[in-house]
Structure 1
Amino acid sequence: METARMPRFGGAITALVTPFRHGGLDRPTLRALAEWQILSGVDGLTVCSTTGEGSTLSPQERAEVIDLVIRSAAGRVPVIAATGTNSTDGTIALTREAEALGAAAALVTVPYYSKPGQKGIVHHFEQLVAASGLPLIIDHAPAQTASDLSTETLGRLAAIPGILGIRDATGDIARFAGLSPRLRQRFRFFSGHDPSALAFIIAGGDGMISPGANVLPRLFISMQQAARAGNLSVAHSLQDRLLPLIAALGPEGDPARIKHALWQVRGIKAELRLPLVAVEPELCLAIGEALAPFLDESSAGTALSL
């Protein structure tokens, strides 16, 4: 696949949670959640990621989530499927399935647990690109995978034409800003770290794949749009409003905290799958306090803030 022919993703993309009810998929709620996000103006949806508890989904459930959200989107926004595992063969199989279902791209983590080293990471993505025509976004989250993606490795990955971009969840803006112009032009760069997302965009990032956007999509969208338009005072003002919630949700967007917040905002059942459990009472209080100003605005008739 030639890089020039790849889709040009950008903007605010939500890393969508997966609603459950009585142990199974809550299909009506998933459809309603995807619709709300799209009507709020998001630029895309990512499904089956860590935020979406993808590792707890059965193969059948994973395929159903991808298919259901693609059908709900109906071409209005691209749907990105997270397909990464710690096995190259397993990742190839999931990526081919996502391609067959109609996903616009695959979000693929640097292999976790097995710690393949930089050479192994490169070979992993070479094999994946050779086996599928789906554009890839590499999910770089060393806090979760225990494998860092070095700048030298980024240079080697740049020679693989099927790789579209990088989702950077490190929060290291200086490292991103210090990349060579060649690498910054070669890849689309997305923030996967909500606390530093604004700084990432100001430094030249192309957008965010955001866990927090599940809860207040319009504010996250407005923040990144203001930043990209150069309206930095507006962007910083929106960030100031969002920071208490971002802090309460955690830097990596804990699904348990996000689902609790969605229960407060949308009345969505906050059911999780083990090993995740419901948030502790003190975190519930912190999330409630962070959301209170927005819920007050909504009840006063300014629901657009949500």
Structure 2
Amino acid sequence: MMVDESLLMQRMAGRKLSGLIAATYTPMKACGDLNLDVVPAMVEKLLLDGVSGLYVCGSTGEGMSLTTRERQLVASAFVNATAGRVPVIVQVGHNSLREAQELAKHAQQIGASAISATCPSYFKVASVQSLTLCMQELAAAAPETPFYYYHIPVLTGSSIDMVEFLTHADEAIPTLVGLKYTDTMLFEFQRCLELSNRKFDVVWGCDEMLLGATATGARAAIGSTYNLAAKIYRKMTLALASGQLETARQWQSKSIEMICTIGRYPFHPAMKAILAMQGLDVGPCRLPLESLSQSQVESLRESLDAIGFFEWSGDTSKPSDA
């Protein structure tokens, strides 16, 4: 396929993401089927909360538990509902690179702002060369769409040095613009940010460490808990930008407390349960993720109430001491 270089350059010119990008959940019915009628309401809530982009069909969106056709339907629903108001990045990684190519082609056809992909994970990718070849083959299917590699070693089992990957893949993948960096190694994240005179757009992926990443130089972050509490993260980054470091620390502390509380339960099912508590019913997760029992939902609500979540995740001006 011929690359329209002028169109590619136009799309990549304003390529750097900024702010909070919500890793969206995939709404489902009780039977496990997609419930895409909910997507417009999800998008409006996120935009009202101040997110600046959406990341679709990633780990949070259970992309790996969906069929290729389902993933295409989900991507289309979010692109249509967003209507160009914020960037939509579609995660197209798959154990089958052929399926990943189909997802990448579709994302380009529907006008996604960018694509992103994990590497194949059943057969482990063990070298920079192998990772580059895999991502080169995948990204070539969407030659006019910016590409972000999704680095999440805890799930893929691939812990390849990202500085080496960016250096090696730079010329091999013309559409490569950066990474979704979901690891806790701030020093490697900083090296990636500073590589080649800050050429690459490296987006942070660990919500509970956003303050440290922002201080290190992160301009954008993709995360699950921005679905629930984008407002506290925005207050944290605004406090940091205005020199109110102690206030910023307090907001990050609230985030950590929230995440640790949710982490006592199966995480993504608990997140979906909390969205329902906030008035947005996105249904259950799909197996192998098990839904919470009613007693677990009640216990989760009590635990969140005990830490003041429902107060300080709203429109408060200062972190609550609750």
- Normalised TM-score (structure 1): 0.88
Indicate if the aligned counterparts of 2:193 and 2:202 stay in contact, CA closer than 8 A: no
Cα deviation for residue 156 of structure 1 reads 0.8
**Secondary structure in 1 matching 2:180:** strand
Deviation at 1:249, TM superposition (A): 3.4
**1:232-279 C-alpha deviation (Å, 9 max, x unpaired):** 33322211222211223349x932121122122225254121111024
Q: Which residue of 2 aligns with 1:8?
A: 16
In structure 2, what is the Cα distance between the partners aligned to 1:163 and 1:230? Answer: 34
Partner of residue 125, structure 1: 135
The unaligned stretches of length 5 or more in structure 1 are none
Shift of 1:178: 4.1
CA distance in structure 1 between the partners assigned to 2:116 and 2:238 by the alignment: 23
- SS of the aligned residue for 1:45 comes to strand
Separation in structure 1 between the aligned mates of residue 176 and residue 191 of structure 2, nearest angstrom: 21
- Which of these residues, 181, 186, 195, is aligned with residue 168 of structure 1? 181
Matched length: 301
Q: Which residue number in structure 1 is paired with residue 148 of structure 2?
A: 137
Q: Deviations over 1:22-60 (max 9, x none)?
A: 322222322211110012110101111110111222333
Matched residue SS, 1:84: coil
Q: For 2:189 and 2:97, locate their aligned partners in 1 and report how far apart those are by CA, in whole Å.
A: 27
Contact 1:248 1:287 in 2 (8 A): no
* Aligned-partner residue type, residue 45 of structure 2: W
Hey, what's the Cα distance between the residues in 2 that align with 1:200 and 1:43?
A: 18
Specify which of 191, 202, 215 is matched with residue 189 of structure 1.
Answer: 202
Q: Which moved more, 1:93-102 or 1:241-250?
A: 241-250
CA distance in structure 2 between the aligned counterparts of 1:111 and 1:254, rounded to whole angstroms = 23
1:47 aligns to 2:56 (yes or no): yes
Partner of 2:277: 264
- In structure 2, do the counterparts of structure 1 residues 228 and 296 end up closer, same or farther at CA, with 3 Å as the change threshold? closer
Deviation at 1:8, TM superposition (A): 2.1
2:278 aligned counterpart, secondary structure: helix
Question: Residues 122, 29 of structure 1: CA spacing in aligned structure 2 closer, same or farther, 3 A cutoff?
Answer: same
From 102, 107, 115, the counterpart of 2:111: 102
Q: Work out whether 1:247 is the aligned partner of 2:260.
A: yes
% identical aligned pairs: 27
Given candidates 19, 24, 28, the residue that maps to 1:20 is: 28
| Residue aligned with 1:95, SS | helix
| Residue aligning to 1:207 | 220
Whether the 8 Å contact between 2:262 and 2:300 is mirrored in structure 1 is no
Q: Report the AA paired with residue 40 of structure 2.
A: R
Which one of the candidate residues 136, 157, 168 is aligned to 2:169? Answer: 157
Q: In the alignment, residue 82 of structure 1 is paired with which amino acid?
A: Q
- Please tell me the root mean square deviation across aligned C-alpha atoms, in Å: 2.6
Map 1:30-69; keep pairs closer than 5 Å.
30-69=39-78
Q: Deviations over 1:38-94 (max 9, x none)?
A: 121101011111101112223332222111111211111111111011222221111
For the 8 Å contact 1:294–1:305, the answer to whether it is kept is: no
Deviates more, 1:139-148 or 1:171-180: 171-180
Is the 1:56–1:273 contact (alpha carbons within 8 Å) kept by the matching residues of 2? yes
Match of residue 290, structure 1, among 304, 309, 313: 304
Specify whether residues 144 and 183 from structure 1 end up closer, same or farther in structure 2 by C-alpha distance, changes over 3 A only: farther
Unaligned 5+ segments in structure 2 are 1-7, 318-322
